[in-house]
Structure 1
Amino acid sequence: MIFPEGGGRESHRKEEIKQYYRSFLWSLVFTVPVFLIAMIFMYIPGIKHALDTKLVNMLSIGAILRWVLSTPVQFIVGRRFYTGSYKALRHGSANMDVLIALGTNAAYFYSVYSVLRAASSTDFESTDFFETSSMLISFILLGKYLEVLAKGKTSDAIAKLMNLTPGTAILLTLDDEGNVISEEEIDSRLIQRNDVIKIVPGAKAASDGFVIWGQSHVNESMITGEARPVAKRKGDTVIGGTVNENGVLHIKATRVGSESALSQIVRLVESAQMAKAPVQKFADRISKYFVPLVIILSISTWLAWFLAGKFHGYPDSWIPKSMDSFQLALQFGISVMVIACPCALGLATPTAVMVGTGVGASQGILIKGGQALESAHKVNCLVFDKTGTLTIGKPVVVNTRLLKNMVLRDFYELIAAAEVNSEHPLAKAIVEYAKKFREDEENPMWPEAQDFQSITGHGVKAIVRNKEVIVGNKSLMLEHNIPISIDAEEMLAETEGMAQTGILVSIDREVTGVLAISDPLKPGAHEVISILKSMKVRSIMVTGDNSGTANSIAKEVGIETVIAEAKPEQKAEKVKELQAAGYIVAMVGDGINDSPALVAADVGMAIGAGTDIAIEAADIVLMKSNLEDVITAIDLSRKTFSRIRLNYIWALGYNLLGIPIAGGVLFPGTGFRLPPWIAGAAMAASSVSVVVCSLLLKNYRRPKMLEHLDIGGIKIE
């Protein structure tokens, strides 16, 4: 299998479910007869007489049967609790297993003492708790079985992702001219980098790659959450696991096996589900002190009731006929120990985080663990990059003005030669536009650029055909002491006024031309900013672009605070300033130059179409590259944490209410007492209810505000 770590975890989970199921069934085999003998048959005259028949002195057949049947439950079926207790105590801590082992052993060994005393006495009537210890173990195993069964459902997102990769692929063999010589069906695990794979309509892509032949539409919803099929033609990338809808595609494999996007997503979701949220430290701290406190409470409860009975602190009529004051006190003590198990508290956070991250993955929002999830729900300030985040990120050259007499083809040849080495979206737009002057060539060869230098956030510099070519913003020209003419200044002001980016071109230290580049706003950007305002989240734009363009874009989307011409380190500094002012800051970006700010922010959100470095630096990856997913991410995190709070209220409230009742607070006035086996059932029910409460997050729906949002003329549902 391609994902051994995921597969191993899945098989381990299935084995764990089987083990608990088998243990529970074996416990039932012995516990049901114990329950029947102790609770039912004692009221059926003929059977009661047989069970009460004495074997040795006061030792009855019923007591022997209960002892024999409960012993395998205590020591064989319940062995896991002894093992868990030993491991915990060896590490200097006490956990739920310690409480269960103490509670069941107290009931079991008191019962053994009672039976042995009856066997050696002619006047001591034994009263045992064998049914208590065996029923307690059975209910706890049932609770554990239901718990691991429910917890397994929280990992459905991973299971679905892992099943996306097809088992086989069609491998093509090409000749030197790119013609298909042969095709062969192979196991998809055997695909190597640079292999050419054929994807027929309806088939899944067996690896990541790019199209070298063919046109089609590909359904990427299982990876990105985007419902609309994406058009693919020569040069476009294809993600492994996505479904080819209509035409035939030939793709060249680029990332295979554990390097593939799908494999990385699986690892990311897995590590996110395993990572602890800071809020869980609260539960861990409580659990650390809670177990010793419960043991003290339990012993104190037993001692208080025992002393009260010894010194006639309550009427003898309170003691049930079937027991004495010591046994009544012991029952209260065991009930307190069992009902107070903090396992529901320990499940409150991890189950909700697992479901929350799984739901996020299914919506195309990859959340890297509990830390990111917790921070996102507190966010009250969003810092947006402009290019590729608020805008589509595929800018186009819309105007060119030459300030010197020069052939436009030659002008663009020099610029393209310098910019082809840059990864910046504006550089790509210029090179793409320059290709129009070389339409006769599909992939034109540009003149060689020497001494190439990329000045992050400003532009590029190179020597092309013995000419010094500098392409960039106004700041870059001023840094190199290149004079900017009045005409160039006016052209810049005009382009910026139209929300376009003005790029200056200097050839041999003289401004030769001005390029106007437009990067259209993402559909729905204005509505997203408006919704964020209604959610009491402040929006700020920080961009390396010039102030004119930045302000025009900000005005269009409704952002009031703008920091323009910011270098990468200045973006990070701005984030830190906002944090110092008391804001919980999320940074939304897509480029390498956003990485420092993404790391500095409380929550870094990377646009999925951005660079690998930005995605690596971010805490949350928005796979669909849609701005509205910023709102979904914050809303999902808020919903998850409200569920965690609800789990804590339930778990703590249950203990605060259950412990006094188990300790006998209601007994003096009402005669109501909580037998240990019922306390065990209640404790198991508490754990299961917390897990079920977390599982209800699976019904999460995006905020209603987004239902009416039109993205590119298509209503988002």
Structure 2
Amino acid sequence: MTTVERPPQRVELAIGGMTCAACAGRIERKLNKLDGVRASVNYATERATVEVPPGYPTTTLVDTVSNAGYQASPVPDEPAEDGASVDDAKLRFLLSAGLSAPVIAVSMVPAWQFPTWQWAALALSYVVVLVCAWPFHRAAAVNLRHGAATMDTLVSMGVGVAFLWSVYALLWGGAGVPGMTHEFSLLPADHGRADIYFEVAVGVTTFLLLGRWLEARSKRRAGAALHALLALGAKDVAVLRDGVEVRVPVGDLRVGELFVVRPGEKVATDGVVEDGSSAVDRSLVTGESVPDEVGPGSAVVGGAVNTSGRLVVRASRVGGDTQLARMARLVERAQTGKAQVQRLADRISAVFVPVVLGIAVLTLAGWLVAGASADNAVTAAVAVLVIACPCALGLATPTALLVGTGRGAQLGILVKGPEVLESTRRVTTVVLDKTGTITTGRMSVVDVVPAPGVDAERLLRLAGAVESASEHPIAQAIAARAVSTARVEEFRNAEGLGVTGVVDGSRVVVGRPGLLARHGIELPEVLVSAMAEAEASGRTVVAAGADGVALGLVAVADTVKPTSAEAVARLRALGLRPVLLTGDNERVARAIAAEVGITDVVAGVLPAQKVAEVERLRAGGAVVAMVGDGVNDAPALAAADLGLAMGTGADAAIEAGDLTIVRGDPRLVADAIALSRRTLATIKGNLFWAFAYNVAGIPLAALGLLNPMIAGAAMALSSVFVVANSLRLRGFRPAAD
């Protein structure tokens, strides 16, 4: 008996209590020590994505996180924005700022130093250091119990040492004498044991709390795109049951049921219009700015807005199977994952804090050995602890991912995972499928050539009437153009040649010239020449005749999308080489390629040969991105270095792709690559500044050239800078608009 191994389950946990990237790394290591568990913890999103064996108890994961000193809970289906953490950070900052302002002012201006100012500073500082800075001390204590050190350890030690040294100076160092004065300096000053650092303790706390508050606000703004996406769906729906409208929660809607969408309402779920016509605004879901006209047989997506007429829709997908739900999952997966550069930052953060603690101890010892006073040595050590906090390092990657992938979702570009961003940077060649990517994928009449003396309207009316009885794509294109009301009788289908029938008493033949010849109809020379010219340009041509006389020609083609030429030009502008890859014949492929500006064409290939062509390009040194929409494109999408699936195509193609273009505009292919590259560039820029800041700041602090309060302000501002730099991605403007 064969045992089928079941795939692992995916569990999402909301993590509380994290204050830096080191916290995330610690939780990740604890979870990964469990048998069969693979975990990734994201500090910016406060989520843990865990793969576990089927049936693995979630309580084990929650308990593991709790034992590490943090809180964990399963992520709800509809996560709400976390305003509580923002409000708490704001309240702590405002209280700290209000109490710190007089302490800093009186410490910096000797003229304001009344006889017992230092004792008043002690009272105010006590509240700031113990109450406002409590989250830092609590987190440091929790980590200390587990033998770990994080950013909070550095902050708690820096603030605590500055405060305790000041208390010591007041009680035993002579600083408590009434009338004592000292001046504030950007560089540490030497006042002997009478030097107090209350302004440093409260200033560092205030600046760090300001950074925490701005960081929490920015993180919420960064994730706003995902929250907006999750909020797009309708909450209830008018379902037709036994001919009566019944309004029920959208979760009670079932596949196959009919529901009503009135003007101004959102489409409750994916479906097909059964009755009514209207214009549907899909901009919230796909980023497509122009409303789409729909009628019976048209597909609609959940979350789109009905702008005018009443629609009756039959549900085709519900719940997690809808396009909107799939979009949300892809975006969330991308935002909670980790790119390779983030994993590098995580590894650095894991050893960074212990190294900084070592540097602070060496700084303290070095100053003392060099003969400096104890207060100068303490000041330098505190400055090292404060300036080295790796907040910016932990935020550099996840905030850029949050904003970049969220902006992509707004534009109809879905990134499957953060590792995709690194793939876009290396791409040199873009392989484009023809049907459904460069072309519309639907045959349509592009030319009508009547025989001499024949009216074009009569040609279309008779040909369209006969073709309306056929299901062939070419026949349907002709019937759609003709919109004939004439009835066809004695319909016959000649396999591979065409069709015949009687319309208004006339025997009509539509198809290849050979079929017409069988019925005694010869094409005049002018039509023969026109047919040869049309076929040379890649069009499919059918001839029509009635009662032994030629009526003319109808040329049909899979028309090029109006934006395809611009899309190819934009790919070239990005330094990419476009290649057209199609199963169609060489002549048609060349004609389409010439129309959109592609010179490299590979035609007449089967799905397996598409994979071989991708592998051939890669073997030649090219880094290949494949763009396609059909089931036959799925293997090639998976084989390419980067797969881009058109969201209007088959599910198999979308699953195989790394990037999904929700709407069928090929210009978004270039936009997707451009946005991915810019997001990656932002991540690298963030990491550079985070590293440069620490590399430059730690030596200055160790040499005694940095006041601890200034170090605290700089550290807080570095985190704000990283988040603000990431938020610039919200301004990305696609050329497709």
Structure 2 length-normalised TM? 0.71
2:268 to 183, 206, 209: 206
Q: Deviations 1:669-692 (Å, cap 9, x if unpaired)? A: xxxx43212211110011101111
Where does residue 723 of structure 2 map in the other structure? 691
Where 2:583 maps in the other structure, the secondary structure is: coil
Residue identity matched to 1:545: D
Counting matched residue pairs gives 587
When residues 526 and 25 of structure 1 are mapped into structure 2, their CA distance, relative to the original with a 3 A threshold, is: closer
Where does residue 556 of structure 1 map in the other structure? 595
Say whether residues 1:239 and 2:271 are aligned partners.
no
Counterparts of 2:715 and 2:487, CA distance in 1: 74
Counterparts of 1:121 and 1:245, CA distance in 2: 75
Structure 1 position 696, deviation (Å): 1.7
1:133-148 equivalent positions in 2, closer than 5 A: 133-148=201-216
Residue identity matched to 1:248: R
Where does residue 426 of structure 2 map in the other structure? 378
When residues 194 and 339 of structure 1 are mapped into structure 2, their CA distance, relative to the original with a 3 A threshold, is: same
Counterparts of 1:364 and 1:441, CA distance in 2: 44
Say whether residues 1:217 and 2:279 are aligned partners.
yes
Say whether residues 1:682 and 2:721 are aligned partners.
no
Structure 1 position 129, deviation (Å): 2.8
When residues 585 and 94 of structure 1 are mapped into structure 2, their CA distance, relative to the original with a 3 A threshold, is: farther
| 2:78–2:230 CA contact under 8 A, matched in 1 | no
Counterparts of 1:330 and 1:106, CA distance in 2: 8
Deviates more, 1:95-104 or 1:334-343: 95-104
Counterparts of 1:298 and 1:659, CA distance in 2: 9
Say whether residues 1:183 and 2:245 are aligned partners.
yes
Where does residue 343 of structure 1 map in the other structure? 391
| 1:496–1:552 CA contact under 8 A, matched in 2 | no
Residue identity matched to 1:574: E
Q: Deviations 1:73-112 (Å, cap 9, x if unpaired)? A: 4444333324444565677764322221232233234344
| 1:348–1:691 CA contact under 8 A, matched in 2 | yes
Where does residue 484 of structure 1 map in the other structure? none
The share of aligned pairs that are identical, in percent, is 39
Residue identity matched to 1:18: D
Say whether residues 1:638 and 2:677 are aligned partners.
yes
Structure 1 length-normalised TM? 0.73
Counterparts of 1:556 and 1:259, CA distance in 2: 38
Say whether residues 1:567 and 2:606 are aligned partners.
yes
Structure 1 position 159, deviation (Å): 2.7
Where does residue 379 of structure 2 map in the other structure? 331
Where 1:265 maps in the other structure, the secondary structure is: helix
Counterparts of 1:358 and 1:273, CA distance in 2: 8
Say whether residues 1:22 and 2:91 are aligned partners.
yes
Residue identity matched to 2:319: G
Structure 1 position 248, deviation (Å): 1.3
When residues 596 and 18 of structure 1 are mapped into structure 2, their CA distance, relative to the original with a 3 A threshold, is: same
Where 2:380 maps in the other structure, the secondary structure is: helix
Say whether residues 1:158 and 2:220 are aligned partners.
no
Where does residue 57 of structure 1 map in the other structure? none
Counterparts of 1:294 and 1:125, CA distance in 2: 26
Counterparts of 2:362 and 2:667, CA distance in 1: 57
| 2:129–2:205 CA contact under 8 A, matched in 1 | yes
2:153 to 98, 101, 105: 98
Counterparts of 1:613 and 1:126, CA distance in 2: 74
Counterparts of 1:346 and 1:543, CA distance in 2: 45
| 1:543–1:563 CA contact under 8 A, matched in 2 | yes
Structure 1 position 647, deviation (Å): 2.1
Where 1:659 maps in the other structure, the secondary structure is: helix
When residues 605 and 92 of structure 1 are mapped into structure 2, their CA distance, relative to the original with a 3 A threshold, is: farther
Residue identity matched to 2:398: P
Counterparts of 2:424 and 2:141, CA distance in 1: 39
Where 1:255 maps in the other structure, the secondary structure is: coil
Where does residue 79 of structure 1 map in the other structure? 134
When residues 336 and 580 of structure 1 are mapped into structure 2, their CA distance, relative to the original with a 3 A threshold, is: farther
Structure 1 position 66, deviation (Å): 4.5
| 2:169–2:175 CA contact under 8 A, matched in 1 | no
2:345 to 270, 273, 283: 283
Where does residue 62 of structure 2 map in the other structure? none
Residue identity matched to 1:365: I
When residues 699 and 413 of structure 1 are mapped into structure 2, their CA distance, relative to the original with a 3 A threshold, is: closer
When residues 85 and 493 of structure 1 are mapped into structure 2, their CA distance, relative to the original with a 3 A threshold, is: farther
Where 1:392 maps in the other structure, the secondary structure is: strand
2:162 to 94, 107, 117: 107
Structure 1 position 256, deviation (Å): 2.4
Where in structure 1 are there 5+ consecutive unaligned residues? 52-61, 175-180, 311-324, 400-407, 417-426, 448-458, 460-490, 504-514, 668-672, 707-715
Where does residue 471 of structure 1 map in the other structure? none
Counterparts of 2:209 and 2:202, CA distance in 1: 11
Where 1:280 maps in the other structure, the secondary structure is: helix
Counterparts of 2:555 and 2:635, CA distance in 1: 29
When residues 172 and 552 of structure 1 are mapped into structure 2, their CA distance, relative to the original with a 3 A threshold, is: same
Say whether residues 1:532 and 2:571 are aligned partners.
yes
Counterparts of 2:176 and 2:267, CA distance in 1: 80
Structure 1 position 162, deviation (Å): 2.8
Q: Deviations 1:218-272 (Å, cap 9, x if unpaired)? A: 1111111111111101011111121112221111122223332222222222222
Counterparts of 1:220 and 1:44, CA distance in 2: 64
Counterparts of 2:209 and 2:407, CA distance in 1: 29
| 1:93–1:288 CA contact under 8 A, matched in 2 | no
When residues 244 and 413 of structure 1 are mapped into structure 2, their CA distance, relative to the original with a 3 A threshold, is: closer
Counterparts of 1:276 and 1:614, CA distance in 2: 24
Deviates more, 1:107-116 or 1:249-258: 107-116
| 1:38–1:131 CA contact under 8 A, matched in 2 | yes
Deviates more, 1:125-134 or 1:540-549: 125-134
Where in structure 2 are there 5+ consecutive unaligned residues? 1-73, 178-191, 448-462, 497-529, 543-553
Q: Deviations 1:345-392 (Å, cap 9, x if unpaired)? A: 222222122111122122221222322223223322101111111111
Counterparts of 1:685 and 1:291, CA distance in 2: 19
Counterparts of 1:326 and 1:24, CA distance in 2: 31
Where 2:271 maps in the other structure, the secondary structure is: strand
2:700 to 641, 645, 661: 661
Structure 1 position 115, deviation (Å): 4.7
| 2:582–2:605 CA contact under 8 A, matched in 1 | yes
When residues 262 and 531 of structure 1 are mapped into structure 2, their CA distance, relative to the original with a 3 A threshold, is: closer
Q: Deviations 1:431-482 (Å, cap 9, x if unpaired)? A: 777999999999xxx99xxxxxxxxxxx9xxxxxxxxxxxxxxxxxxxxxxx
Q: Deviations 1:562-613 (Å, cap 9, x if unpaired)? A: 2223232332232233233332221100011111111222221111210111
Counterparts of 1:656 and 1:108, CA distance in 2: 27
Where does residue 299 of structure 1 map in the other structure? 361
Counterparts of 1:413 and 1:90, CA distance in 2: 79
1:441-480 equivalent positions in 2, closer than 5 A: none
1:119-134 equivalent positions in 2, closer than 5 A: 126-134=194-202
| 1:501–1:545 CA contact under 8 A, matched in 2 | no
| 2:140–2:152 CA contact under 8 A, matched in 1 | yes
Structure 1 position 415, deviation (Å): 9.2
1:490-501 equivalent positions in 2, closer than 5 A: 497-500=536-539
| 1:376–1:633 CA contact under 8 A, matched in 2 | no
Counterparts of 2:535 and 2:412, CA distance in 1: 35
Where does residue 466 of structure 1 map in the other structure? none
Q: Deviations 1:147-179 (Å, cap 9, x if unpaired)? A: 1101211122223223323344323335xxxxx
Structure 1 position 558, deviation (Å): 2.6
Structure 1 position 280, deviation (Å): 1.8
Q: Deviations 1:268-324 (Å, cap 9, x if unpaired)? A: 2222222222222232233233333322332333333222235xxxxxxxxxxxxxx
When residues 542 and 120 of structure 1 are mapped into structure 2, their CA distance, relative to the original with a 3 A threshold, is: closer
Counterparts of 2:629 and 2:720, CA distance in 1: 41
Where does residue 240 of structure 2 map in the other structure? 172
Residue identity matched to 1:14: G
Structure 1 position 397, deviation (Å): 8.6
Q: Deviations 1:158-211 (Å, cap 9, x if unpaired)? A: 23223323344323335xxxxxx4323444343333232222222221222111
